[in-house]
Structure 1
Amino acid sequence: MTTFKCLAWSLTCTSLVYFCNCEDSIASVIERLDQFEEELLDNKDDMIRMEKRILNIINGAKTSLRAELKENIGDKVREAMAEILQGESLQDMVKTQVVSELRHLKQGYHQMKRQIHHVSKELKDFQDETSVFHETVLKKARVGNRENSSDVSVKYRHRLEIELQKCEVTTADLKADIKRCMTLNETCQFPKQKHKTTFTVHHASPATQNDTSTSGSPVLTSLMTTQRLPVSTTSVTTQGRQEERSRILIAPRWSSTQHQFRQLNIHSNSLSVYQYLTMKNVLSVAYVAKTRKLLIGLNNPRKIVSSALDTSHVTVLREGVQTYGMAVDEERDIVFMTTDFPRHSISRMSTQGKDFTTIVNLSNYGNWPSGITLDNKRKKIYGCNGGKLFMVTYDGQGLATLATGNGMYAVTLDQTAGVLYYNNDKKLMKMTVSNNVSTEVTTLTARSCNMRLYRGTIYYGGCGPPIVGAVDVTYNTLEYTLQSVGMEGVDHVHLCLIP
């Protein structure tokens, strides 16, 4: 009998020792969870400090870039650039470059901010799950204490080990996100070095400067020796760094059958098929650089649609509107357009198609209005309606006829020089806006439907033969044909410059 009593005491002591060991393991696990929570909070503080450092780096980069540009651009550089640019403002060119680089910096910063927001959200979710699990563990520990069951303790211990493994995986993901943020920080510093490389000017011989003068427009290299440039036709390949260079999108105008848009690559003077857009009844095309989207005016049915550059999907912005010309003021997020329906007028809306309104009724002014261009500094609109070149302010005041002629459909503005270029039938005309005096520049191969000025060269879409023509108005005022556009049954083409 005494033997059985000792055996019972031995079993009781053994179970108590085993359970105490399990309780020690649970306490250790809870302590590790607290340590993980502290590490996660430290990681979040590090990310907040990193965001502040990146903001300071961006602000410092802006200040440094402005200071370095002022130091590096001297009188000799201004004289040399003045000879190269022939009227184009060096300040405007530098401002454009700086704005472009700062826009890339801003995009990188917003991308980093989104990543940090995503990481913070994951961290909060993990903290919530950890708190719930923490409470569950304590509750189960109390239940286990009451039940005094070694099997329950083993089961919860195994579950704790699984949850700890999940915690380690989540911590590794957070560390990887922090590493990506540090990589983005280094990327934000790259445009600063790029600015240093771009605007470091070395002393060169006169011959070197003459060679540089033709590099502003890639098609001008062979322009001095010939009027006709050979053009290679290739297919559009995968979007890459080279395809981000300036190009002209060519749309079939008034075509009743569907055609793929064409793409003229200015940097290589090659024509290719644009793989994303296939449309018919196109009346006008414009480009919004801020959102990198096309605005397209269509007929039958009458509407204005929007499309990204890398997709065939279109979004209807406005129905019941027929427009022959559009121009975008990106600083004010306004699209101005000449409309033929519901009435002859100039109207406006936001780049998202909102707040559509007519600013001036042209029903009694003559033929339907066509081409349009903007002077966003002076808030003026210049347009053609077939027989007149006219001007009106952004708010529809001061409508005035600047010139008259025949077949006047295209107009563009050199805002820096204060010169308007427009067509009068097949003649290319220019007008100084300060005195409204017009002079003939040259005779075009075909009547222009629309035109765009880019780096001293006017590119125009021809009516009759569907061609893309160009006129160098900076150097020798030389007119030449870049390419005949092979679209069966198309007599008119519309151009849209994508810088």
Structure 2
Amino acid sequence: MIKFGSLSWLLFSNYLTCACSSQDSIVSVIHRLDQFDRKLLDNKMDVLDIIDGAKTSLRAELKENIRDQVREAMAEILQGESLQDMVKSQIVSELRHLTRGYHQMKRQLHHVSRSLKDVQDETSVFYQSVLKKTDVWNQKNSSDVCVRDKHKLEVELHKCDVYAADLKADNEQFVELNETYQSQISQLKTDLVSASSPVTQNVNSTSMSPVSTTSVTTPTPEEDYSRILIAPLWSSTLHQFRQLNIHSNSLSVYQYLNIKRLESVAYIAKTGKLMFGSYSPYRISASTLDTREVTVIREGVLTYSMAVDEDRDIIFIATRQPQHSISRMSTQGKDFTAIIDLSTYGSYPRQITLDTRRKRIYGCNSGKLFTVTYDGQGLATLATGSGMYAVTLDQTAGVLYYNNEKKLMKMTVSNNVSTEVTTLDATPWNMILYRGTIYYGGHGSSIVGAVDVTYNTVAYTLQSISMEGVNSLHLCLIP
């Protein structure tokens, strides 16, 4: 019994011990479960963050893929420059419509001006006639009759004044319409240049039929009587200028000047004078447009280019002698001064052109395209290359055209970004822009070339000019 009691007590003690141990295990398990729930919640938040990051990454990748597909689709849609063609067609249509409206407006303005003049003449005659009759009536009739007739005269004259005022108002309205039209034309030209493709185009040069050679003709007032004088450069033999008559696209001999050792030519429309530089001896001379008389303007100056700002009465000169510089003088040859010394800048300057609105000079010196102000400040290099001789400016569109050997380049002045336009038939010595076409004289090649930079960019040769001892040409526009 004693042994049994001890066993019973031992079993009871073990039970109590197990019970206590079980309670501790349950508490521990519950605690661990709580910890597991907290970890599970934390892991859930991490998983949600990972899912959100994956979603964001997938969205970005999807957008990029869609953008690439849209670009490919747009490239296929725009293949062949169909959008550019539509823009050009629309602008050309609008330009033609405005041109017709402008010509109609000019005819109406001419009619109104003529009517106004007729009315003024008739009013003046009528007024003088009535005054004479009034004097007679004052002598023959009583004062009451004269007063009544004078009153009638004043009424009629008032009516005439009202009609004349209406005609003047119409005239002013037509002047405003004319200014609006000119502004729209300039804007359309700017839009057309902006719509042209900026992609580099390497177009093989093609030749057109040579222009016909005819005698000098006098065009009618409706025709464009502008011409381009073609000067033979550096010839030791006397040669006359050639003359490209733009209105008829014909070539003739300019009969008034017979010159050798020519370097450059410029024209001053205000005075109707040709300015030309020569060497041996170094000098700048002038001649009225249609005469053989030549006057020396400046001695000791060797120039390869001159550019005229007629509004300010200034000629800018790219000089090789007496120093490599850009100089200026008046159109009469007075106040000659160098505005900037380019002796350490590289080779001597070749062709220069002017932005008269912003008072800036643009020029080439064989290896650089540069710009400087009228006062010789702010010298900056815009582009570099080789064989860079020629430059011209479309001031309305804000576009520079220049050459890099035989490549015709263009640069937007606002951002100095250059693109290639086309390849020319020869390296140009100088070039001029006239009504959307660039004309250039060959350097080491006696051709006159052209490029239509408004509607297409195909270079072609207008004329090959054969003169003994001449292999380079200089062009000068006579508007």
TM-score (normalizing by structure 1): 0.57
Partner of 1:70: 176
Alignment partner of 2:430: what SS? strand
Residue 301 (1) aligns with residue 316 (2): no
Return the letter of the residue paired with 1:82: L
Q: Residues 294 and 309 of structure 1 are in contact (CA less than 8 Å); yes or no, is this contact kept in structure 2?
A: yes
Partner of 2:424: 444
1:465 is displaced (CA, Å) by 2.0
Indicate the structure (1 or 2) with the bigger Cα radius of gyration: 2
Alignment partner of 1:86: what SS? helix
Q: Distance in 1 between matches of 2:335 and 2:185?
A: 46
Return the letter of the residue paired with 1:301: P
1:309 is displaced (CA, Å) by 1.1
Deviations 1:192-242 (A, max 9, x none): xxxxxxxxxxxxxxxxxxxxxxxxxxxxxxxxxx85033111233579868
Q: Distance in 2 between matches of 1:269 and 1:246?
A: 11
Question: Aligned to 2:373, which of 386, 393, 402?
Answer: 393
Question: Aligned to 1:381, which of 349, 361, 377?
Answer: 361
1:488 is displaced (CA, Å) by 1.6
Deviations 1:150-178 (A, max 9, x none): xxxxxxxxxxxxxxxxxxxxxxxxxxxxx
Residue 409 (1) aligns with residue 389 (2): yes
Higher RCO (CA 8 Å, separation ≥ 6 residues):
2
Return the letter of the residue paired with 1:310: D
Residue 372 (1) aligns with residue 478 (2): no
Question: Aligned to 2:320, which of 330, 340, 346?
Answer: 340
Partner of 2:87: none
Return the letter of the residue paired with 1:405: G
Question: Aligned to 1:435, which of 375, 396, 415?
Answer: 415
Partner of 1:148: none
Structure-2 change in CA distance of 1:358 and 1:483 (3 Å) = same
Q: Distance in 2 between matches of 1:456 and 1:340?
A: 31
Partner of 1:426: 406
1:82 is displaced (CA, Å) by 2.8
Gaps of 5+ in 1: 1-59, 89-225
Query: What are the residue-to-residue correspondences of 1:43-442 with 2, within 5 Å?
Result: 66-71=172-177, 78=184, 82=188, 86-87=192-193, 227-236=207-216, 245-442=225-422
Q: Distance in 2 between matches of 1:339 and 1:80?
A: 34
Q: Distance in 1 between matches of 2:289 and 2:384?
A: 37
RMSD over aligned CA atoms reads 2.8
Q: Distance in 2 between matches of 1:325 and 1:295?
A: 10
Q: Residues 223 and 247 of structure 2 are in contact (CA less than 8 Å); yes or no, is this contact kept in structure 1?
A: no
Alignment partner of 1:317: what SS? strand
Structure-2 change in CA distance of 1:462 and 1:79 (3 Å) = closer
Residue 471 (1) aligns with residue 468 (2): no
Q: Residues 246 and 266 of structure 1 are in contact (CA less than 8 Å); yes or no, is this contact kept in structure 2?
A: yes
Could you tell me the percent identity over the aligned residues? 68
1:64 is displaced (CA, Å) by 6.2
Deviations 1:123-169 (A, max 9, x none): xxxxxxxxxxxxxxxxxxxxxxxxxxxxxxxxxxxxxxxxxxxxxxx
Gaps of 5+ in 2: 1-165, 195-205
Q: Distance in 1 between matches of 2:454 and 2:228?
A: 20
Structure-2 change in CA distance of 1:321 and 1:71 (3 Å) = closer
1:489 is displaced (CA, Å) by 1.4
Q: Distance in 2 between matches of 1:271 and 1:375?
A: 30
Q: Distance in 1 between matches of 2:326 and 2:462?
A: 32
Deviations 1:377-433 (A, max 9, x none): 001000001011000000000011111100000000001111000000000000011
- Say how many residue pairs are matched: 303
